[in-house]
Amino acid sequence: MKKYYAGLDLGGTFVKGGIVDEEGKILVKDKIPTGRERPYTEIAADMARLVKDLAVRADLAEGQLAGVGIGSPGLIDAENGVIVYSNNIRWENVPLCGAVREQLGVPVCITNDANAAALGEHFCGAGKKFGSMVFITLGTGVGGGIILDGKLFEGNRSAGAEIGHMVIERGGWQCTCGRRGCFEAYASATGLIRRTRESMEAHKESAMWKIAGSLEGVDGRTAFDGMRAGDAAAKQVVEEYISCLAEGVTNLVNIFRPEAVVLGGGVCAEGETLLAPLRAAVEPHLFGGAEYAPVAIVAASLGNDAGLCGAARLAMQRAR
Amino acid sequence: MKKYYAGLDLGGTFVKGGIVDEEGKILVKDKIPTGRERPYTEIAADMARLVKDLAVRADLAEGQLAGVGIGSPGLIDAENGVIVYSNNIRWENVPLCGAVREQLGVPVCITNDANAAALGEHFCGAGKKFGSMVFITLGTGVGGGIILDGKLFEGNRSAGAEIGHMVIERGGWQCTCGRRGCFEAYASATGLIRRTRESMEAHKESAMWKIAGSLEGVDGRTAFDGMRAGDAAAKQVVEEYISCLAEGVTNLVNIFRPEAVVLGGGVCAEGETLLAPLRAAVEPHLFGGAEYAPVAIVAASLGNDAGLCGAARLAMQRAR
């Protein structure tokens, strides 16, 4: 009897879920509102209902659902299935795995959302061909996931892989974590937006004013669009952004020397406009040379499905 | 029949060797000159002779020597037993393992010298109690070794774990590797000496002049000695040095979240003068808090024996 796994991607607004087979194919998927202000037991019950509903829609027979994986924001105690804390959902020490397992009667495991996305991209996305990879999401913050020998590396009590909070500029930009000069402060979409706004204020003639309408209208695309429109200030913003991104990526490559770096998050929609100069900036600094142990630098390919695919994959790995 | 392993620590000046048992006890040890200007085959023959000689002195019976491990400077292709290149011994693509194995008829394996020292400290030194650790040597450069689940993590083709070349200050001090602002540029003894000299030139009244005699007389102890003598400029040098060291250590802890950070190299002779302020600077920035997943920050304990112990340990792990 073929086995299937449910992946749940818990977010502040929606819970996304899907039923995934052992080849990484998503049979069905759906999402429900998180309702994050409610007690966790209610949210857990809804998550379990979503899994049951998806299992019916995927036409699974009794016993075919072999496990459930959850990707969640926050600090996760994976071993004990507990969300230690999450700013996003305002939880502290929530035993979510146990609460979902009670409703379903199958094993439930959990990891951080960035880890889940990393595992998803490795299982059936851009990282599929590679034995080891560093996954970096460039979003509101910079999240990361590390895959070594096909498995998540999480560090002691799953508190590692916090690559966004690696300082690349001592005493530099203030980070939300309290340190200064973190990779996240520069390489996140938030960092790009900050840099774009600073440049607009310094260059009142810049085409970026027309593109964004106002400082409030700036997003992660503004500088890239400005550069494409031939604006010099915008080009400089993009170059400085990529230079910071390259600094952190080079650090991570020389630490992990993975076979691939997979970049996710909104900024990656720029594709080769971002990736080609990034590769050119990283490769000359690879220890032993880029040819000795090549590192592919590629964009993530699963989009919003990465988290649920990876959560399902985690359940699959645990079941073996 | 009890098994024993030989560890060889290949340096630019000496080859150190020892016979180690499965509990990490060194039965005998010795060293011979490297004679690094000679063909590698001659050096390999001397290394094999050293092992044979040590085995006799340790009274090993035929078949009791179960393997040989080598710690070597440079970029090492561990899988193929080749030194890809070494600045120190000026070698390129030297199949050292094969050359030593031919003479001895037992398995021979190799790793980078910093990796060997890390494994040694983990096997029978300061890292003994810990499942995972980050080893950092503060010497002429900054070397590193990563132990995960009791095993060396080396990255693809052993080109990872280059923690000294993680940039902590974008556009900062020039590093020998070509990048600017590397951890090594600031946290090595070389970086400390540079900072000490810069401070002396800015503070002609500093007690450091008397301690060192001249700029040429400066070493890694000068600023620490000056601080102990009550010199304000020296104190500032030490504080800035430790602050840079803490930046890199914090990065590595948040990336690997190991159970311990073990610091080796000459600067560590300062003991708690170095370690106490380092812990105080690192702990507030640990993801999830220091209590959630504590990280011990300790000095290495094996001194010059770390490399040969670790090399022997590597042979032991390979033999299993």
pLDDT tens digits along B233-275: 999 999 999 999 999 999 999 999 999 999 999 999 999 999 9
Residues 170-199 of A with CB under 8 A from B: 170, 172, 177-179
Residues A250-291 have pLDDT tens digits of 999 999 999 999 999 999 999 999 999 999 999 999 999 999
A254, A291, A295: best mutation site toward chain B, by most B Cβ within 10 Å? A254
Residues B117-175 have pLDDT tens digits of 999 999 999 999 999 999 999 999 999 999 999 999 999 999 999 999 999 999 999 99
Residue A162's pLDDT band (cuts 50, 70, 90)? very high
B132 token code pair: 């995972």
**Predicted local distance difference test score (pLDDT) of residue B87:** 82
B151 and B168 both lie in a single domain: yes
Residues A294-316 have pLDDT tens digits of 999 999 999 999 999 999 999 99
**Predicted local distance difference test score (pLDDT) of residue A73:** 93
B9 and B151 both lie in a single domain: no
- A157 touching B (Cβ < 8 Å): yes
Domain count, chain B: 2
Helices then strands, each counted (H, E), chain A? 10, 13
B192 token code pair: 């400390």
Q: Give the strands of the sheet with A91-94, arranged side by side.
A: A75-77, A82-86, A91-94
Q: Where are the alpha helices (DSSP H) in chain B?
A: 40-57, 96-104, 113-124, 183-187, 189-202, 208-212, 222-228, 232-256, 272-282, 306-319
Neighbouring residues of B30: CB distance < 8 A, sequence distance ≥ 6: B16, B17, B18, B50, B53, B54, B57
CA gap A202, A188 in Å, rounded: 21
- Among A159, A177, A292, the residue with its CB nearest the CB of B292 is A159
What is the distance in angstroms between the Cα of B288 and the nearest Cα belonging to chain A? 7
Residues A36-52 have pLDDT tens digits of 999 999 999 999 999 99
Nearest chain A alpha carbon to B144: A255
Count Cβ–Cβ pairs < 8 Å, chain A vs chain B. 142
Nearest chain B alpha carbon to A83: B288
A63 and A138 both lie in a single domain: no
CA gap A67, A319 in Å, rounded: 7
3-state SS, residue B7: strand
**Predicted local distance difference test score (pLDDT) of residue B258:** 98
- A286 touching B (Cβ < 8 Å): yes
Q: A286 to each of A244, A296, B193, how far by Cα in Å?
A: 16, 12, 27
Residues B66-92 have pLDDT tens digits of 999 999 999 999 999 999 999 888 899
CA gap B156, B154 in Å, rounded: 7
What type of residue is A31?
K
**What are the chain A neighbours of B285 within 8 Å (beta carbons)?**
165, 177-179
Residues A190-221 have pLDDT tens digits of 999 999 999 999 999 999 999 999 999 999 99
Asked if B121 and B144 count as a contact pair (C-beta separation under 8 A), the reply is no
Q: Residues B16-41: what's their mean pLDDT?
A: 97
**Predicted local distance difference test score (pLDDT) of residue A88:** 81
- B168 touching A (Cβ < 8 Å): yes
Q: Where are the alpha helices (DSSP H) in chain A?
A: 40-57, 96-104, 113-124, 183-187, 189-202, 208-212, 222-228, 232-256, 272-282, 306-319
A105 and A150 both lie in a single domain: no
**Predicted local distance difference test score (pLDDT) of residue A87:** 82
Residues A54-100 have pLDDT tens digits of 999 999 999 999 999 999 999 999 999 999 999 888 899 999 999 99
**What are the chain A neighbours of B74 within 8 Å (beta carbons)?**
none
Residue B98's pLDDT band (cuts 50, 70, 90)? very high
CA angle A229, A233, A237 (to 5 degrees): 100
Q: Which of A29, A33, A267 is nearest to A143 (CA)?
A: A267
A161 and A271 both lie in a single domain: yes
Nearest chain A alpha carbon to B154: A256
A257 contacts B156? CB cut-off 8 A: yes
B247 token code pair: 């930046």
A224 and A146 both lie in a single domain: yes
Flag whether pLDDT at A245 surpasses 90.
Answer: yes
**Predicted local distance difference test score (pLDDT) of residue A89:** 86
- A87 touching B (Cβ < 8 Å): no
Neighbouring residues of A290: CB distance < 8 A, sequence distance ≥ 6: A283, A284
Share of chain B above pLDDT 70, in %: 100
Angle between helices A272-282 and A232-256 (to 10 degrees): 50
- Among B132, B167, B178, the residue with its CB nearest the CB of A156 is B132
B45 and B103 both lie in a single domain: yes
Average pLDDT, chain B: 96
**What are the chain B neighbours of A285 within 8 Å (beta carbons)?**
165, 177-179
- B92 touching A (Cβ < 8 Å): no
B83 and B45 both lie in a single domain: yes
CA gap B123, B24 in Å, rounded: 7
B96 and B228 both lie in a single domain: no
**Predicted local distance difference test score (pLDDT) of residue B89:** 86
Phi, psi of B259 (to 5 degrees): -80, -25
Residue B320's pLDDT band (cuts 50, 70, 90)? confident
Q: Residues B184-188: what's their mean pLDDT?
A: 97
Asked if A8 and A51 count as a contact pair (C-beta separation under 8 A), the reply is yes
B27 and B63 both lie in a single domain: yes
Residues 6-45 of B with CB under 8 A from A: none
Phi, psi of A10 (to 5 degrees): -85, 120
- A129 touching B (Cβ < 8 Å): no
Average pLDDT, chain A: 96
**β-strand partners of A262:** A135, A298
**Predicted local distance difference test score (pLDDT) of residue A270:** 97
**What are the chain A neighbours of B132 within 8 Å (beta carbons)?**
155-156
**Predicted local distance difference test score (pLDDT) of residue B88:** 81
A117 and A243 both lie in a single domain: no
B224 and B311 both lie in a single domain: no
- Cα-only R_g, chain A: 20
What is the distance in angstroms between the Cα of B293 and the nearest Cα belonging to chain A? 6
**Predicted local distance difference test score (pLDDT) of residue B268:** 94
Dihedral (Cα; B307, B310, B314, B319), 10-degree rounding: 120
CATH value at residue B24:
3.30.420.40
Nearest chain B alpha carbon to A245: B170
A257 contacts B157? CB cut-off 8 A: yes
A287 contacts B258? CB cut-off 8 A: no
Q: Which domain holds residue A146?
A: 129-301
**Predicted local distance difference test score (pLDDT) of residue A90:** 87
- B250 touching A (Cβ < 8 Å): yes
- B93 touching A (Cβ < 8 Å): no
CA angle A309, A314, A315 (to 5 degrees): 100
B172 contacts A256? CB cut-off 8 A: no
Q: What is the ipTM of this complex?
A: 0.95
